[in-house]
């Protein structure tokens, strides 16, 4: 199973895991987060992230999700990357996370594709008219 680590600002990672746990009925295994605040030392956070990645990897790899591309959490993720072992995707949201969690048995590259599609397809502009059609 692919491990999943969320590295994000503040309590976003913890909140996403709480929401995913609610949606899925229980807390998924091999899932953790690292909270980054403006006062954290990036080098220290990198060491913590490396430990979390090692703990989450059962031999099939780890997908690391971050919130904003180019921000400190994402910059930490870039230092963790190792092709086919530790991969990263920015822009984490709940649809992305749930999609990844449902496809972790399929391999790391499938999880990357599901993360990207879940993130894109989970963002929908809806109106009162479209909501009535969905019922």
Per-residue pLDDT averaged across 43-54, rounded? 98
Confidence of residue 125 (pLDDT cuts 50, 70, 90): confident
Confidence of residue 128 (pLDDT cuts 50, 70, 90): confident
Question: For residue 133, is pLDDT > 60?
Answer: no
Residue where the block lists tokens 């449902």: 102
| Domains of the chain (ranges, CATH numbers) | 3-124 (3.40.50.510)
Per-residue pLDDT averaged across 54-71, rounded? 97
Model-level pTM? 0.93
DSSP string, 17-33: HHHHHHHHSSPPSSEEE
Distance of CA 77 to the CA centre of its chain: 11
């Amino acid at each position: 199973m692919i491990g999943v680590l969320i590295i994000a600002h503040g309590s976003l990672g913890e909140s996403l895991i709480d929401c995913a746990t609610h949606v899925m009925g229980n807390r998924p295994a091999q899932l953790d987060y690292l909270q980054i605040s403006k006062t954290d030392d990036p080098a220290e956070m990198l060491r913590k992230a490396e430990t979390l990645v090692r703990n989450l990897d059962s031999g099939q790899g780890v997908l690391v999700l971050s919130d904003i591309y180019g921000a400190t959490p994402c910059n930490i993720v870039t230092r963790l990357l190792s092709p086919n072992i530790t991969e990263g995707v920015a822009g984490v949201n709940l649809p992305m996370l749930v999609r990844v969690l449902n496809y972790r048995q399929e391999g790391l590259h499938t999880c990357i594709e599901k993360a990207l599609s879940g993130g894109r397809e989970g963002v929908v502009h809806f109106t009162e008219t479209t909501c009535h059609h969905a019922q």
